Every structure is written in C-alpha cells, then in structure tokens.
Amino acid sequence: MIGLLLAAGSSSRLGEPKALLTLGQKTLVERSLQVLQASSLEVVLVLGAEINSIKAIIPSDSVEIFESEDWQMGQGSTLSECLRFLAPRKQDILVMLVDTPFVQNKHILAILQAHHDSPNQVIISSFHGQSSPPVLIPYQHQEKLYDWKGDKGFGPFWKSHPSICQWISFEDEYRDLDTPEDKIYWQEKCAT
C-alpha cells in the first residue's frame, strides 16, 4: 500500500510554506512522513512549491518524491495527477495532507484495520464529525478521481459516492494548519 503525502501547496493563507513550518523539533513534512513511515507504508511525497527547500531536509533514500506539474492548480488537480501517475502500480493508496498535525500513527493503524475489514470501501476519517484525510482509496475506486480539478477537496467525492464510503470516527479535535492563528495554536500545543 502507498502512503501519499500531499505537500505541494504554496500556503498562501498562512503566508509561509506549511511543509517547512517547525512544530516542536520537526517540520510539518518530517512529522507527517514519520507518521506514515511508522505504519510501514511505501511513502510517496508530493511536492510543488518549495521543492528544493523540502528536498534539502528529507533524506533522499527515505521516500519517493513526486514533483507535481499541476500543484498551482490546487489540491484536487495535484491529487488526480498523482493517482494517474501511480495507477500502473495497482495499489491501494492512503492520502494524507501535510497540514494535519493532529494525525497520529494510531489513526493510520485504525484506518488500515478498517480497510482490512472492508477492503472495497473508501475509508474516510472523521474527527469530531469533521470528515477529513487521511482517506484510504482502494485501487478500484481511484479512477473516479482521475479528472479531479482545481482546489477541490474530498467532500464532493464522498457526497457523490456514499455507497462506496465508510467513515471511521475519532474523538481527536480537527484543526488543520491554514492560517497564522492555526500556526500559533499548534506551536503552543506542540511546545507543551
């Protein structure tokens, strides 16, 4: 199975590259990679903005790096580009976003268990009722996202295909890292 970490965006709302933001002792990209690698997934790191700066802190032999050509068009375009690139491998893919510092190894393991129990279902995380990646997409459903465009997230996908989706609920708070206020929140939380 592939763990696909989307870290290609320019972070325009935050005003600085999210992937390079330090929380505690690690950058967001290092924290996210650590979570995926702890689950023994074959990790593909998707980069766009700040490619060279991110590559400089990631050991080249630790992950496969995919350089998106469509990253400026938004998350949906980047996701569809990656899924088409990975299609010949015919593997299930767990998609994680770099700006979700609340995601831990326990969440990935629960998602993998849910996939084991329901291998044909798209497994969607729900944090206090907020649906969000990580999302596990079995190979047979990935083509439904091949034409995803723009800055489209997963919401329209699961609303359009509820019969193939299964939600897994977590009690952890959902709060991504998009704004300067989010940055302050997470820096304070990770300092304790």
Tell me: the pLDDT tens digits for 58-90? 877 779 999 999 887 888 889 999 999 999 999
Domain at 179, CATH number? 3.90.550.10
The predicted pLDDT at position 192 comes to 67
What pairs with residue 5 in β-bridges?
45, 96
The predicted pLDDT at position 11 comes to 67
The parent domain of residue 49 ranges over 2-191
Number of structural domains the chain divides into? 1
Please report which helix (H) or strand (E) contains residue 137, including its range. strand 130-137
pTM score over 0.85:
yes
What pairs with residue 22 in β-bridges?
27
Structure tokens at 107: 């969440």
Please report which helix (H) or strand (E) contains residue 67, including its range. strand 64-67
The predicted pLDDT at position 186 comes to 86
Name the residue with tokens 């997934």.
Answer: 41
For the chain, list residues with pLDDT below 70. Answer: 11-12, 15, 192
Q: Are strands 165-170 and 122-127 parallel, antiparallel or unpaired?
A: parallel
